[in-house]
Structures are given as structure tokens and as C-alpha cells.
Structure 1
Amino acid sequence: MKSTHVSQVIAAPASRVYDFAANPDNLPRWAAGLAQAEVRRDGEDLVAASPMGDVRVRFAPPNDFGVLDHDVTLPSGEVVNNPLRVLDHPDGAEVVFTVRQLAASDDDFARDCAAVARDLEALRELVEG
């Protein structure tokens, strides 16, 4: 199984990037691969309409370390862990998302990595804009 780290440097303080990305109301604005419409809260979980159907998402608790890891429960019941970090960077912040191939074909894995790159670019545009 391959893993790829997809990253984006954002010209803003890491704390601001973290706060924006951690806000569930902002997910449909930048995380198209996860949320295509308003996210609703169900206890500690978020429920989102995604390209895969409705998914349940549980983020790491709020923290001062920039950790936005999240487990996504797919419609099939499979749980996918997604490591996501907001790090200090000399130019502001760097957001790093680890994409894991799991059972995806090489072509699907490449598409997943490209989709994550688009999402992180959208995050950069929103935070910097």
C-alpha cells in the first residue's frame, strides 16, 4: 500500500488555518471530496453528503498541535483514517494530508491525490482571500 503526502503552503498563521479548517461549517467550501453540502452534527460526529454518499466524520478533538486527523465512515460501514496536519511554515502554514492507497487502483489513487490537492488549494484561496 502506498501513501502520499499532499501539501499546500498558505500565507496565514497556522492557528488561523487550523481554526478555519476545523470549523465544520466551512467544510463544503473547501473539502469537496468530503462534503458537498451543509454538514450536520450528530453527537461527536458530522454527517456529510459526499461524492461517495452520506458519510460520518469524526475529527480529532480540538488541540494546539494542528492535528485535524479524521475518521470517515463510508456508506459501506468501512472506516478510513485520514491524517491531516496544519504546521507552522516560514511563509505562514503548511497543510499536509496523507492519502493512502488502500484497495484503490493506481489510477484511482492518482485521482484521489489530485482531488486532495484541489481541496487544499481551495482552502488556501479561502484563507488567504
Structure 2
Amino acid sequence: MSTVIGASAEDVYEFISDPDNLPKWAAGLASSEVVRRGDDLLAESPMGTVTVRFVPRNTLGVVDHDVILPNGDTVHNPLRVLPHPDGAEVVFTLRQLSMPDDEFDRDTRMVEEDLARLRALF
């Protein structure tokens, strides 16, 4: 799923890749301030306390991150910020894998809400 934001890809990338901004737009992942523990980020989420690990900052607009759930499972989340004629396109790949349909539908709604919140911030 994706959304187009009327701001430069560089500005959107800078905002998204800053873990301190997660609670401002990614309520499906972080519902409070993010706590740093080395390279790991601890966040309170609707699923409980999760650990988040971002790829290193880069010039490609890649903001992939792994989320380690309270049960120890790791979910890889591909996230990209791409240049778009109207500013930037943020693309989040949500994969169902072995997730039941109802959980996938819930996650889809949460990601859609997060992307809408992000767009509204710009």
C-alpha cells in the first residue's frame, strides 16, 4: 500500500527514519515515546512492548525495519520513500504469510491509518 505526500522525498525520509517520530505517525507500531537500547528501539504498541530495528540510514529511501513481537516472532517490514511528481510516495509492503485473514485485515487498516496520519503531518 502507498500514499503520496506533498513534500520532498528527502524531507519525508528524514522524518520517517527518525525513530523519535514513530509515535507521531505509526500508532500501529509505537503508541508512546521510543526508548533506545543500543541499536534497538523499544516501543509500546497495541501488541505490547516490541523491539524495532531499522536498517542503517541511506540515500536510497529505504526505511525497512524488523519488529520483534512480545512472543519473540520477528516481522520484516519493507518501507520505501520514493520521489514522486507530486512530492514523495511512501510504499509499505504488508505481507500476510501465515497470518489469519482477520489479523491481516486488522494490520491492513492500521497501516492505512498510519500512512494517512503521516500524509496529514505534511
With the length of structure 1 as denominator, give the TM-score of the two structures: 0.92
Q: How many residues align?
A: 122
Partners of 1:90 and 1:110 lie apart in 2 by: 30
What is the aligned counterpart of 1:65 among 55, 60, 67?
60
Q: Please say which of residues 105-114 and 33-42 is displaced more in the overlay.
A: 105-114
What is the aligned counterpart of 2:70 among 59, 67, 75?
75
Shift of 1:9: 0.2
Q: Where in structure 2 are there 5+ consecutive unaligned residues?
A: none
Partners of 1:107 and 1:57 lie apart in 2 by: 24
Residue 94 of structure 2 aligns to a residue whose secondary structure is strand
Please state if 1:44 is matched with 2:61: no
Partners of 1:19 and 1:26 lie apart in 2 by: 10
Identical amino acids, percent of aligned pairs: 62
Residue number in structure 2 paired with 1:117: 112
Residue 99 of structure 1 aligns to a residue whose secondary structure is coil
Residue number in structure 1 paired with 2:11: 16
Shift of 1:110: 1.8
Please state if 1:56 is matched with 2:58: no
Partners of 2:48 and 2:104 lie apart in 1 by: 19
Q: Where in structure 1 are there 5+ consecutive unaligned residues?
A: 1-5
Residue 66 of structure 1 aligns to a residue whose secondary structure is coil
Residue 110 of structure 1 aligns to a residue whose secondary structure is helix
Residue 75 of structure 2 aligns to a residue whose secondary structure is strand
Q: Deviations over 1:32-77 (max 9, x none)?
A: 1100000010001100000111000000100000000000111111
What is the aligned counterpart of 1:94 among 85, 89, 94?
89
Alignment root-mean-square deviation, CA: 0.8
Residue number in structure 2 paired with 1:3: none
Highest RCO, 1 vs 2 (Cα 8 Å, sep ≥ 6)? 1
